[in-house]
Amino acid sequence: MTDVAVSVEHVGKKFRLYSERNQSLKSAIMRGRRSVHQEFWALNDVSFEVPVGSTFGLIGSNGSGKSTLLKCLAKIYYPNRGRIVANGKFAALLEVGSGFHPELSGRENIFLNGSILGMTKKEITHKFDEIVEFSGVEKFIDQPVKNYSSGMFVRLGFSVAINVNPDILIVDEVLAVGDAEFQEKCQVKFAQLKKAGRTVILVSHDMVQVRKMCDTVAWLKNGDLVTVGEAEQTIAAYTDSLQGEEP
């Protein structure tokens, strides 16, 4: 057994930023030239380890690379350099309504999203009532999710994700959409996951939430890892840097 849930090793991820782009072969021939682009490295040589059973936070300003890194962790993106080694089963909640079909009901989407996350139909049926109860959307469970509010989307998606019983749960800023009561339920659930030896990796701009929930925090800036360490100290360094940037 290892005491490291996730190892991020010298990870780099680049994208192409196009100033001129051919939308088809015809346009390339008519224009007589190739698309013009430059490379943008969203992540630069990022390395850290996430301990098993910890709640690990990723902080930084917009454009720092947090969401790109989460998508690399969730295998939505793949690094151009380095590697990510995970010890256990992932479940990810990165965007409002991700994995949901808008025309299907909440009930149907529980089975759809659960199967995407690796659950069998029998497992989903067994946990169905628990998923619905936690989400708080009982009255609307047979309505198309296209009629749901963003908060309802998040509650249902998060409820499915945590009932996969993942070894590692990855959560983006989406929990900020939920109301105070739901956020409190999530924090209780995170504490239960931690007690059970599960690992949570989350991105948040809410430093109060990060300070309350996280053991360790990594601070990213412009794709670079500034520092990683104990939550209180890392958050203090980050907030101090923001004050220093004010005119």
Q: What are the structure tokens assigned to 188, written together? A: 């209780």
φ and ψ of 38, to 5 deg: -130, 155
Q: Strand ranges (DSSP E) for the chain?
A: 4-20, 36-51, 55-59, 81-86, 90-93, 168-171, 199-203, 216-221, 224-230
Please give the span between the terminal C-alpha atoms of the chain, in angstroms, as a whole number.
Answer: 50
> How far from chain centre, in Å, is Cα 181?
21
Alpha-carbon Rg for the chain, nearest whole angstrom, is 20
Q: Give the burial class of 192: count Cβ atoms within 10 A of its Cβ; 0-12 exposed, 13-18 middle, 19 or more buried.
A: exposed
Q: Tell how far CA 106 is from the center of its chain.
A: 22
Domain topology for 1-10+48-88+167-247: Rossmann fold (3.40.50)
3-state secondary structure of 105: strand
186: its two tokens: 């999530």
Task: Give the DSSP H/E element, type plus range, for residue 209.
Answer: helix 207-213
CA dist 235 and 124 (Å) reads 38
Q: How far apart are the C-alpha atoms of 152 and 171, rounded to whole Å?
A: 16
Per residue of the chain (247 residues), what is the pLDDT tens digit?
469 999 999 999 999 776 555 455 555 555 555 655 678 899 999 999 999 999 999 999 988 999 899 999 988 899 999 999 999 888 887 776 667 888 999 999 999 988 888 889 999 999 999 999 988 899 999 999 999 988 888 889 888 888 888 899 888 876 666 677 887 888 888 888 888 889 999 998 889 889 888 999 999 999 999 999 999 999 999 999 988 654 4
State the pTM of this model: 0.81
- What angle do helix axes 106-116 and 150-162 make, rounded to 10 degrees? 40
Q: What is the domain partition of the chain in residue ranges?
A: 1-10+48-88+167-247, 102-162
